[in-house]
């Protein structure tokens, strides 16, 4: 049942991304182009997500004790965040919209998702093994 509800939530999320146009990388790139033909629609989608979170997050916390572990900010975290941002800026995708956009059968989307999967696999390999240290 847990997997079914996760699938349902993912399906609703994907449909929302598709209907809002956020699965289109041009929409995202136009949002990031603040000096050119700026498109603020992604900002509206983000504001909607924040509003839903503000309303529902307290209820979730009240039902279940959540433990937030504070981690240190280190080089791998900064490098990963920078790499994510660069990839988002170049490709116009982040993981959710990229998977949703696979339905369009674009070769660019397929390359992006494959690179994302490879990056995820590499991230699970300990740094000492990856870099031969």
3-class DSSP state of 107: helix
pLDDT computed for residue 128 by the predictor:
64
pLDDT computed for residue 131 by the predictor:
58
> Is residue 42 predicted with pLDDT exceeding 70?
yes
Tell me the torsion sign for CA atoms 94, 107, 116, 78. Answer: negative
What pLDDT, in 10s, does the model give residues 102-129? 888 888 889 888 988 888 888 787 766 6
- H/E stretch holding 127 reads helix 127-130
> pTM for this structure?
0.62
pLDDT computed for residue 70 by the predictor:
67
- Integer Cα distance of 47 and 59 in angstroms: 19
What pLDDT, in 10s, does the model give residues 59-91? 777 777 766 676 778 887 888 889 888 888 888
Q: Where are the domains positioned within the chain?
A: 2-130
């Amino acid at each position: 049942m847990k997997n079914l509800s996760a699938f349902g939530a993912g399906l609703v999320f994907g449909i929302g991304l598709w209907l809002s146009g956020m699965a289109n990388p041009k929409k995202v790139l136009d949002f990031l182009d603040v000096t050119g033909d700026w498109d603020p629609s992604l900002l509206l989608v983000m504001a909607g997500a924040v509003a839903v979170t503000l309303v529902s997050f307290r209820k979730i916390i009240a039902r279940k004790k959540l433990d937030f572990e504070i981690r240190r900010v280190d080089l791998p975290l900064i490098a990963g965040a920078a790499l994510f941002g660069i990839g988002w800026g170049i490709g116009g995708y982040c993981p959710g919209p990229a998977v949703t956009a696979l339905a369009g059968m674009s070769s660019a989307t397929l390359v992006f998702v494959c690179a994302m999967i490879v990056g995820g696999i590499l991230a699970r390999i300990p740094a000492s093994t990856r870099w031969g240290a």
